[in-house]
Amino acid sequence: MRDEWWRGSVTYQIYPRSFQDANGDGIGDLPGITRRLPLIADLGVDAVWLSPIFRSPMVDMGYDVSDHRDIDPVFGTLADFDAMLSEAHRLGLRVILDQVLNHTSSAHPLFQESRSSRDNPKADWFVWADPRPDGTPPNNWQSVFGGPAWEWDARRFQYYLHNFMVAQPDLNFHHPEVQDWALDTLRFWLDRGVDGFRFDTVNFYFHDRMLRDDAADFRVKARPAFKTYDMQYHLFSKNQPENLVFLQRVRSLMDSYGATVTVGEVGESHHPIEMMGEYTSANRLHMAYSFEMMEDRFSADFFRRTLSEFQRLAPQGWPCWAFSNHDVPRHATRWARHAADPGRFARLCAMLLLSLPGSICLYQGEELGQTQTDLSLDEIIDPQGKAFWPEDKGRDGCRTPMVWEEAHPQGGFTDGLPWLPIKAPQRVHAADRQLGDPASVRATYKAMLALRRREAGLRTGPIEFIDAPEPILAFQRADVTCVFNLSPDPATLEFAGNGRPLLAQDADWSAGRIRLGPNGALVARAA
Question: Closest Cα to residue 104, out of 156, 52, 30?
Answer: 52
Which tens digit of pLDDT belongs to each residue from 348-362?
999 999 999 999 999
Specify whether 93 is located in the same domain as 232. yes
Distance CA 325, CA 333 (A): 13
pLDDT at residue 223, rounded to an integer: 66
As beta bridge partners, residue 497 has none
Domain final position from 449, 482, 507? 449
Residue 501 pLDDT grade (very low, low, confident, very high; cuts 50, 70, 90): very high
Specify whether 129 is located in the same domain as 255. no
Between the CA atoms of 19, 24, 25 and 27, what dihedral angle is there, to the nearest 10 degrees?
Answer: 0
| Cα-to-chain-centroid distance, residue 242 | 24
Specify whether 439 is located in the same domain as 475. no
Distance CA 466, CA 472 (A): 10
Instruction: Give the 3-state DSSP-derived string for 402-431, with helices as H, strands as E and coil as C.
Output: CCCCCCCCCCCCCCCCCCCCCCHHHHCCCH
Domain final position from 449, 473, 492? 449
Catalytic residue among 98, 195, 265, 506, which? 265
pLDDT at residue 268, rounded to an integer: 82
Is 214 a member of any domain? yes
Specify whether 154 is located in the same domain as 227. no
Which tens digit of pLDDT belongs to each residue from 97-134?
999 999 999 999 999 999 999 999 999 999 999 999 99
pLDDT at 141 over 60: yes
Where would I find the H helices in 317-395? 331-334, 342-353, 383-388
Is 454 a member of any domain? no
Specify whether 433 is located in the same domain as 309. yes
Is 215 a member of any domain? yes
Distance CA 140, CA 205 (A): 18
Q: Distance of CA 218 to CAs 222, 224, 237, 270, 295, Å?
A: 8, 11, 17, 11, 21
| Cβ neighbourhood burial of 241 (10 Å; 0-12, 13-18, 19+) | exposed
Helix (H) or strand (E) holding 321: strand 319-321
Cβ(75)–Cβ(54) below 8 Å? no
pLDDT average, residue stretch 38-46: 98
For residue 41, how many C-alpha atoms fall within 13 Å in the half-sphere facing its CB? 15
Is 345 a member of any domain? yes
pLDDT at residue 270, rounded to an integer: 85
Cis amide prior to 390 (ω within 30 degrees): yes
Which tens digit of pLDDT belongs to each residue from 152-197?
999 999 999 999 999 999 999 999 999 999 999 999 999 999 999 9
Which tens digit of pLDDT belongs to each residue from 444-488?
999 999 999 999 999 999 999 999 999 999 999 999 999 999 999
Which tens digit of pLDDT belongs to each residue from 188-245?
999 999 999 999 999 999 999 999 999 999 887 666 677 899 999 999 999 999 999 9
Instruction: Kindly report the CATH number assigned to the domain that includes residue 474.
Output: 2.60.40.1180
Specify whether 31 is located in the same domain as 108. no
The boundaries of the domain holding residue 493 are 462-526
Specify whether 168 is located in the same domain as 187. no
Distance CA 206, CA 242 (A): 7
Specify whether 328 is located in the same domain as 214. yes
| Cβ neighbourhood burial of 128 (10 Å; 0-12, 13-18, 19+) | buried
Distance CA 505, CA 424 (A): 27
Specify whether 75 is located in the same domain as 113. no
Instruction: Kindly report the CATH number assigned to the domain that includes residue 41.
Output: 3.20.20.80
Is 457 a member of any domain? no
pLDDT average, residue stretch 426-432: 98
Residue 293 pLDDT grade (very low, low, confident, very high; cuts 50, 70, 90): very high
Specify whether 18 is located in the same domain as 164. no
Distance CA 319, CA 344 (A): 27
**Catalytic residue at 265?**
yes
pLDDT at 142 over 80: yes
Is 511 a member of any domain? yes
Residue 179 backbone dihedrals phi, psi, to 5 degrees: -60, -45
Domain final position from 414, 449, 484? 449
Distance CA 208, CA 79 (A): 41
Instruction: Kindly report the CATH number assigned to the domain that includes residue 116.
Output: 3.90.400.10
Mean predicted lDDT score pLDDT of the chain: 96
Report how far apart the first and last C-alpha atoms of the chain are (Å, whole number).
30
Q: What's the total number of domains in the chain?
A: 3
Cβ(421)–Cβ(411) below 8 Å? no
pLDDT at residue 124, rounded to an integer: 98
Is 456 a member of any domain? no
Is 455 a member of any domain? no
pLDDT at residue 222, rounded to an integer: 67
**Catalytic residue at 113?**
no
Residue 248 DSSP SS3: helix
Cβ(382)–Cβ(397) below 8 Å? no
Q: How many CB atoms lie within 10 A of CB 146?
A: 17
Specify whether 124 is located in the same domain as 18. no
Specify whether 215 is located in the same domain as 319. yes
Catalytic residue among 60, 64, 98, 200, which? 200
